[in-house]
Amino acid sequence: MKKIAFIGAGSLVFTKNLVRDLLTFPAFEDCTIALMDINPERLAFAKTAVDNLIAAGAYQAQVEATTDRAEALTGAHGVVCTILVGDLAIWRTDIEIPKKYGVDINIGDTRGPAGIFRFLRTVPVMLDICRDIERYCPEAIFLNYSNPMAMLVRAMQSESKVQVTGLCHSVQGTAAMLAGWIGAPMEEITYRCAGINHQAFYLDYKWKGKDAYPLIREAVAKRPEIYNEEQVRNEMFLHLDYYVTESSGHNSEYNAWFRKRPDLIEKYCTHGTGWNPGRYGEIITYAEKLRGNWHQQMEAWRDSPIDLQRGEEYASYIFNATIGDGTLFEFNGNVRNFGLIDNVPEGCCVEVPVLASRGGLSPIHVGALPDQLAVLVNTSARCEELAVQGALMGDPRCIFHAICFDPLTSAVLSLAEIKAMVDEMFAANQAWLPQFKQLS
């Protein structure tokens, strides 16, 4: 009998969907699901939701719920992490302090000043989780869904022996979106995708073995409803020639082209019709809305109709390949770059094809990115490397330097202004950053 531990199980939508997917595989119909969260009330919602799933599917699985991480991890064969460190008050500083200095951020959970400070708060907890996995279930496969993905995975893979990778649904989600735009059934689409998390690109995208990029370009250029759905990403595609995986809201933050002036924000980041068109502080607006009717939302998610059909998240397929029936599964995962992408920094965290099997997780060599993509990706990857170095060393100067070269920040602020902004963000986060002994 297999045991799968969910750390941060109070992330109810993720937990409910991932457990549903897992139980569709015969190898896990009688598994033990260990739910762990530090919030007992959220944990109770998750336990009820999973109990309902098991009953609806007539599965033989067992459910455990605990606030004790060691208890959840003991004897686990697989671990899923969906934690979030910090409350709404501290998230606000990630967005509002940069805005005060002129850096307009939409989501701020991945990179840039907001993403880096979220990383600094989160990485001590993630490394503690890794140490517990080493102690209580050292052979377990650890799948991380928490952001900022690249920096967290980079730190965990360098500081622990745990077999960990990070997963993001933007790769398969965007592939399906593009297929819909050109009228192609998803089962007839193949692609090769690589880069870094949220800045990975489809190096090729084929329908029945033929290049489908001309069809995508025609759809974007000639159909306003498609162009308007993803204005930022479509502008990037039309000018850089390859399609990026993550949403327009996110990608508007990762470069210097869309958010450095009010007129550009108005043109590209305000009127899009897709998810997260890029308005300032979208993540805060969403969090405040949820907080206003938290119990009602949790009850609605818990009690929503149960669909037992497997979804498209990678986690269950990876567990089935590694600790289930052994069916091979290729996915895009976050791993350190040791001979995988030739023209991005060695050792940084990249998002590349990975093969899951009974032998574990095996990243696949991609080669070189097109030069125009490598320039963009290298800038973000090197900033992330500086941030990881600063976090592990407790060196605020490294963090300042990482933010100095963030494309959006450097397009808006002088070095002195960036230093003042970073100092203010450190002051706001001081209680959350025990690893920084000297903030100067």
Residues forming the active site: 169
Q: Residue 75: left if φ>0, alpha if ψ -120 to 50, beta else—which one?
A: left
Rounded alpha-carbon distances, angstroms, from residue 260 to 31, 253, 407, 412: 50, 9, 10, 6
In the block, which residue shows the tokens 């602020």? 413
String of DSSP letters for 168-209: -THHHHHHHHHHHHHT--GGGEEEEEEEETTEEEEEEEEETT
CA dihedral sign, ordered 348, 147, 362, 314:
negative
Q: How far apart are the first and last CA of the chain?
A: 52
Tell me whether the omega of the peptide bond preceding residue 148 falls within 30 degrees of 0, making it cis. yes
Rounded alpha-carbon distances, angstroms, from residue 80 to 86, 136, 145, 163, 356: 19, 15, 7, 12, 16
Instruction: Look up residue 66 and give its two tokens.
Output: 């605990």
DSSP 346: T
C-beta of residue 335 within 8 angstroms of C-beta of residue 165: yes
| Angle subtended at Cα 137 by Cα 349 and Cα 28, rounded to the nearest 5 degrees | 90
Rounded alpha-carbon distances, angstroms, from residue 174 to 139, 230, 296: 32, 11, 31
Neighbour count for residue 419 (Cβ, 10 Å): 14
C-beta of residue 130 within 8 angstroms of C-beta of residue 163: no
C-beta of residue 420 within 8 angstroms of C-beta of residue 403: no
C-beta of residue 35 within 8 angstroms of C-beta of residue 9: yes
Instruction: Look up residue 177 and give its two tokens.
Output: 């979106």
